[in-house]
Structure 1
Amino acid sequence: MSEPTFAIDRRQAGIARELFEAVRDMPLLSPHGHVDPRLLADDDPFPDPARLLIVPDHYVTRMLLSQGIPPSRLGVPRRDGGEVESDPRAIWRLLAENWHLFRGTPSRLWLEQTFRTVFGVETPLRRETADEVYDAIAARLAEPGFRPRALFERFGIEVLATTESPTDDLAQHAKLAADGWGGPDGRVISTFRPDNVVDMDREDWRDEIGKLGAISGSDVETYAGYIEALRKRREAFIAAGTTCTDHGHPTARTLKLTPAEAAAVYQRGLQGNATREDAETFRAHMLVEFARMSLDDGLVLQIHPGANRDHNRKLYASHGKDVGGDIPQATDYVHALRPLLDEFGMESRLHIVVYTLDEYTFSRELAPLAGGYPAMFLGAPWWFLDTPDAMRRFREAVTDAAGFYNTAGFVDDTRAFCSIPVRHSVARRSDAAYLASLVAQDRLPMDEAAETMADLAYHLPKRIFKLDGNTK
């Protein structure tokens, strides 16, 4: 299987290969992702190929669900503890039988490249080869060199950020630090994601507020105590090496409330009387408050809006969150972010990285905003947009107004640990193809394209996500 260049003609392909080769072996930075820290803290052997590569991958299970194959047949746990397929080989065979569904998709690209580059398996996956491919991967997983920490080294990962909530005790990160893998100078760090204690629409919000009070030792029955608790937890995360926060709100709306106004909304939430508008108002206000906190403690503020969570209500009812039931929606940024940018947009010490699922906003809203405020940077295409085609469209849409240096580099945003090097390779090849098109058009000299390539692959994310030790 050849390695794709994503270039559209031979001359560009040659230039793209040269640019990619210059960064192929640069370290990988994974400043935003969802790998379970327990994976590296325990360093146990991976399970079978199905539970490693299929069961947790909602890209895969979502596609199969669209053709009538329920997640339970793929081993995805049910909320009610009901019966699901437990035979990993049966799960693998089911994927192989339906492999044609993934033609042209990034899931197929990532999986095939993972089979080949991580596990050394060249046999194409088919119904007839399902067992052969399964056995080859299973044999690799039994080898010491395929344990998580060994693969981490082999992948060339310099820093990997996981994602935890303020109510997490960071025990896994403490274990990593004790082993020399975590802490402020560690290779595995956490990201502070407070959605569970900010979003009043969550059914468990009040319970999570109680946990926040218990773990912080603060009186969270008052708004002032709630803010104090969040600051305390941020301090604990920073002590464990955290450099970023992450906020996955339905919209990008921001709003500046007075302390009294915020306290009134918070009390309605505690009393169970908050409306949907209260929940949106509180989320919007807290983004401004988190930016204020970031000015004080140096954490990068990441905003991930635009997902209509759990749109597939029957899927949520049977299997819960994060199993492929979310859908992108149109998102406003120009008006939504204005209160935040009015307050802090000119603060060059503050790094606000904004992502989108609504690619129509790239050139119309996001690139001009990032090109006009020192605090704002464009996050990489993510989730439904982390594909070669969407990455190309991203560069074509934003470079005119934002250039390259108001973008934040690639984030893999994945739970699938073994796909990390493949995803970074795809992103680097995509950027190389775009830069090659500029060189071929005589719009950029080759030496500057090579320098830009290295910046996009490594130097920009290291600086913008404050992985260089400069937290202020």
Structure 2
Amino acid sequence: MTEPWALHPDRALPADPGVRRIARQVYAQTAGLPIVSMHGHVEARVLDDDQPFGDPAELFVIPDHYLVRMLVSQGMGNHDLGVPTLDGAGGLDVEQDHREIWRRFASNWHLFRGTPTRYWLEHELVEVFGVTTRPSAKSADALYDHLLDALARPEFRPRALFDRFRIETLATTDAATDDLAHHASLAAQGWGEKVVPTFRPDALVHLDRPGWRPAITELARVSGIDVQGYDAYLTALEQRRAVFVAAGARATDHGHLSADTTPLPLDDARRIFAAALRGEATTAEADAFSGHMLYEMARMSSEDGLVMQLHPGVLRDHDPHIARVFGPDTGFDIPVQVEYTRALRPLLEAFGRHPGLRLVLFTIDETVYSRELAPLAGVYPAVRLGAPWWFLDSPDGMRRFRDAATETAGFYNTTGFVDDTRAFASIPARHDLARRVDAGYLARLVAEHRLDLDEALETAVDLAYELPRASYAARP
């Protein structure tokens, strides 16, 4: 008889028995701590509406780009997994049978062996939803029914899970033009300190993106400022940032292809912006303007106190056909090499020691941790290293981050863990994995007599809880 599916209590801890014993002690200090989730993509609407999540395909499969891209790599189409097209584009027959979508996923469970997606899904299924049978073609329908029943119960609604997960603060990521109505509604219900917005201006600073002109029109509408030139554009952005600050925002979020922060002369910025309004800006001008705006965003953060999060190095929509059919940011983003040392120098020369700036740097090019990012964080007071992100938030990726960054930057020039997730039910899984990996790293330092146990215990709590709170604390 097959044993019920269960997760090992020592999962992701070191294999060496002596180090593992220490790691258990360290992990025990953090396992029950509240979650501070300061960089994520769960929508405020989910918690404001507090409606049931729907069915297993809607919760686990269709919106999860990690899961979808793995199945696509094995020959499935996005449409086979229920991913909607843009207004019926592409002439594809999008699968509407959500049970069939779930079957396709469960039948291919083996594809996720060794991936962090497997770890997160195991935690969600077993720890959150009480599943006792591993996904497979044979178990798919029974699992679907089990999950469908659970999702219909009040204790599995978003707010109930928020409390069960011990989430202290959840930051959403919101367009700079968002009206923040759901945040206002949550604040009126006493959730204002629990769910906070994050200001993301990407749609407004990349002049050559197809949606830039409509985004400028929307900026003018929501700000009440007639954005007919560069100066009015800056004023409108500052006004929107003030609205976000008033709504409880702690941070901004910037996704650029490069980390260039070279400021433009004022006349050049005005000229390029005017050309963009006419539809005449060149690619080179648009690139220069986006780098200039990172410099400007650092200036604004030094004034209004919003933490500036920068994560360059992703080529969006590598497959343009998929992006055309399914919409922006569905065409499989792929990492590219990024240079930080020279690119950030203009920003850091101006604001790297400014008491008002906090700059959190993320990367998915792990070759730069020891060569560039740790040395930068190890000298500029404004700089902190963000957690391993996206393709690197895996057990071994997080271990490599600690090995590469700690000797130069230490622990306290990092922000602790952020989960960067859209999958609400995976938040505790991701934080649990980070706490286990950090427990293992700290346990090794204790075993090698490089750290005392009491120091390891204190550091573990700081990494899991205190550093995220301090790194993103609201400033007067």
> Would you say the 8 A contact 1:62–1:324 is kept in 2?
no
- CA offsets 1:68-103 (integer angstroms, 9 cap, x no match): 100101110011325311111100100111111111
SS in 2 for 1:245: strand
Counterpart Cα distance in 1 of 2:350 and 2:381: 13
Counterpart Cα distance in 2 of 1:240 and 1:307: 30
Counterpart Cα distance in 1 of 2:367 and 2:329: 25
Aligned pair partner of 1:174 in 161, 184, 187: 184
Counterpart Cα distance in 2 of 1:53 and 1:318: 22
What letter is aligned with 1:112? E
> Would you say the 8 A contact 2:44–2:182 is kept in 1?
yes
What letter is aligned with 1:161? A
Partner of 2:149: 139
> Would you say the 8 A contact 2:29–2:457 is kept in 1?
yes
- CA offsets 1:130-156 (integer angstroms, 9 cap, x no match): 112111111111110100000000000
Gaps of 5+ in 1: none
Aligned pair partner of 1:100 in 102, 110, 117: 110
Counterpart Cα distance in 2 of 1:305 and 1:339: 16
1:338 maps onto 2:345 in alignment: yes
Instruction: Report which stretch shifted further, 322-331 or 151-160.
Output: 322-331
Aligned pair partner of 1:215 in 213, 216, 222: 222
Counterpart Cα distance in 1 of 2:316 and 2:12: 34
- CA offsets 1:313-355 (integer angstroms, 9 cap, x no match): 1211221233361000000000110000011111233110000
Counterpart Cα distance in 2 of 1:111 and 1:321: 26
Counterpart Cα distance in 2 of 1:105 and 1:349: 39
Partner of 2:426: 419
Counterpart Cα distance in 2 of 1:243 and 1:146: 28
Counterpart Cα distance in 1 of 2:328 and 2:395: 27
Give runs of aligned pairs for residues 28-427 of structure 1, distance below 5 A: 28-81=35-88, 83-182=93-192, 186-323=193-330, 325-427=332-434
Partner of 2:8: 2
> Would you say the 8 A contact 1:96–1:125 is kept in 2?
yes
Deviation at 1:278, TM superposition (A): 1.0
Deviation at 1:267, TM superposition (A): 1.0
SS in 1 for 2:164: helix
SS in 1 for 2:360: strand
Query: Over the residues paired in the alignment, what is the CA RMSD in angstroms?
Result: 1.0
SS in 2 for 1:356: coil
> Would you say the 8 A contact 1:198–1:286 is kept in 2?
yes
> Would you say the 8 A contact 2:301–2:356 is kept in 1?
no
SS in 2 for 1:2: coil
Partner of 1:17: 24
What letter is aligned with 1:5? A
- CA offsets 1:284-318 (integer angstroms, 9 cap, x no match): 11111111111111100000100000011121122
> Would you say the 8 A contact 1:371–1:401 is kept in 2?
yes
Counterpart Cα distance in 1 of 2:113 and 2:187: 42
- CA offsets 1:35-91 (integer angstroms, 9 cap, x no match): 011110100011101110110000000001111100101110011325311111100
> Would you say the 8 A contact 1:354–1:379 is kept in 2?
yes
Counterpart Cα distance in 1 of 2:236 and 2:462: 37
Deviation at 1:6, TM superposition (A): 3.0
Partner of 2:435: 428
Aligned pair partner of 1:452 in 418, 434, 459: 459
> Would you say the 8 A contact 1:6–1:433 is kept in 2?
yes
- Structure-2-length-normalised TM-score: 0.96
Counterpart Cα distance in 1 of 2:298 and 2:153: 46
Counterpart Cα distance in 2 of 1:427 and 1:121: 23
The list of structure 1 runs, each at least 4 consecutive aligned residues, that deviate by more than 4 angstroms after superposition, is none
Counterpart Cα distance in 2 of 1:348 and 1:19: 34
Instruction: Report which stretch shifted further, 322-331 or 27-36.
Output: 322-331
> Would you say the 8 A contact 1:48–1:138 is kept in 2?
yes
What letter is aligned with 2:8? S
Partner of 2:3: none
SS in 2 for 1:436: helix
Counterpart Cα distance in 1 of 2:402 and 2:247: 35
Deviation at 1:249, TM superposition (A): 0.5
What letter is aligned with 1:251? S
Identity of aligned residues (%): 54
Counterpart Cα distance in 2 of 1:349 and 1:200: 28
> Would you say the 8 A contact 2:354–2:382 is kept in 1?
yes
Counterpart Cα distance in 2 of 1:66 and 1:131: 24
Gaps of 5+ in 2: 1-6
Counterpart Cα distance in 2 of 1:295 and 1:355: 19
> Would you say the 8 A contact 1:62–1:323 is kept in 2?
no
> Would you say the 8 A contact 1:61–1:323 is kept in 2?
no
- Structure-1-length-normalised TM-score: 0.97
> Would you say the 8 A contact 1:254–1:284 is kept in 2?
yes
Deviation at 1:236, TM superposition (A): 0.6
Partner of 2:4: none
Query: When the two structures are aligned, how many residues end up with a matched partner?
Result: 466
SS in 2 for 1:353: strand
Counterpart Cα distance in 1 of 2:470 and 2:275: 40
> Would you say the 8 A contact 1:254–1:288 is kept in 2?
yes
